[in-house]
Structure 1
Amino acid sequence: MFKLRKTLLPVIGLLLIGVATTCVSNHAQAQINKNKAPLNSVVHLYSNNQVKTSAPSVPNNAVTLVGAGAPFPAQLYQTWFQEFNKQYPNVQVNYQLIGSDAGVKWFIKGTVDFGASDDAMTDKQIALVKRGVMTLPLTGRALTIAYNLPGVKNLKLPRQVYTNIFLGKIKYWNDPAIIKANKGTRLPRLPITVVYRADGSNTTQIFTRHLSAISREWRSKVGSGKSVKWVTGVGAS
């Protein structure tokens, strides 16, 4: 049973752990071991190809590594890259926030030295990278259900309840199953509006994979994936 956080959107999700992975080419690893001449550089962090920080000119013996992928771990990566640069001043790391799928595609094409994704590369994707691949699990995060129900705090939804909400079986906040899980809480007879990601995403894949694992009905009717045919609700970016 989960306690849900109140937000501005009536979103139904769940609490679980997702792992952000990074794929690194063997060539990039070899570059790191080269020259160690001092360099006063800083980490570049890009968003939609816009440079967020700047750096001085790079000397000839410096190493520049370029990565791209998921926005979620970007701040953590920035901290790591800055600390790494203190130990290896000649290494400059650039990271572009373009999304998990795009990061993997750029890595496969050789556009970047490493890519970051909320989901690991498949064997088929790895086979496309002739220069070799190392996949490393680096970060963890929680996906949580959020809701907007004025006057109601610390709402609790057992697994069967939130699964039935997403299956369109529970349509109102004062449904007997929700009342039973929240004794003493006055729940209004208001319709539940499910809001989900309209675009394909690894977040959706993690969430629907969980629903498929706990509900045979969900698994047979909807299944899991980065983009699924939702039973109920509206899509939002």
Structure 2
Amino acid sequence: MPVALVLVLWEMSVRLDLFPGEFFLPAFSSVVLEIREMLFGDLLIPSLISSLGRVVAGFSAGAVCGISMGVWMGWNHHVHQWFHPVVTLLYPIPALGWLPVLMLWIGVNEMLPIAIIFICSFFPVLYNTVTGIRQVPPEYIHAARVLGATDRVILGRVVIPMALPNIFTGLKLEAGMAWKVVIAAEMVAIPTGIGALMMRAENLMRMDIILVCLMVLSVMCLIFEKFFSFLEEKTTARWR
């Protein structure tokens, strides 16, 4: 209901000339028509597929490496002591802050946005995984050892399952952030994708296309977040 109200107010405000023309803010109906034209005009789908491929590749690699490293750091005290200062120094750096460095290291090519998304995903997922592992109550681990469980069994059957809520929190947060990062990277350095489409629309002063791209970005962020929420519910429902 609130979304419908906003859309109605948007449409009415443009129709009543409360904004300086469609150049400043096109009507919602005009944006819907543009979505249809872009879908049938073979313009939106190829751009979305390009961005989606980069997000899936970069996010998957960052999440797998972040979880693996996080489990290692969280479970092994000595590894945590060695790597925690490094993570603490690098984690606050915004992912896009690495863009000039990566442009010099790997050049302006398809790997650039994937590398940015990897960095964007790796550190938050690593941090949440380490936090989840280290927050497992020691008495649970001690009880499993008393019952004869090996370290591998304790890690796989006790520690990681109890850390899953923290891990999924990191995944959900960074799934949406990956889309924001890829759009920014494409706007700066890549000629294909939703971000590049937005830049071309800006050069042509096509506000309707820009709004379509923003809607697609919003929907994709929501889909990714809901996917991990669904996956978390299915994975942790048994012991929640």
Q: Do they superpose with TM above 0.5?
A: no
Query: Normalization by structure 2: what TM-score?
Result: 0.21
Query: Normalization by structure 1: what TM-score?
Result: 0.21
More strand by share: 1
More helix by share: 2
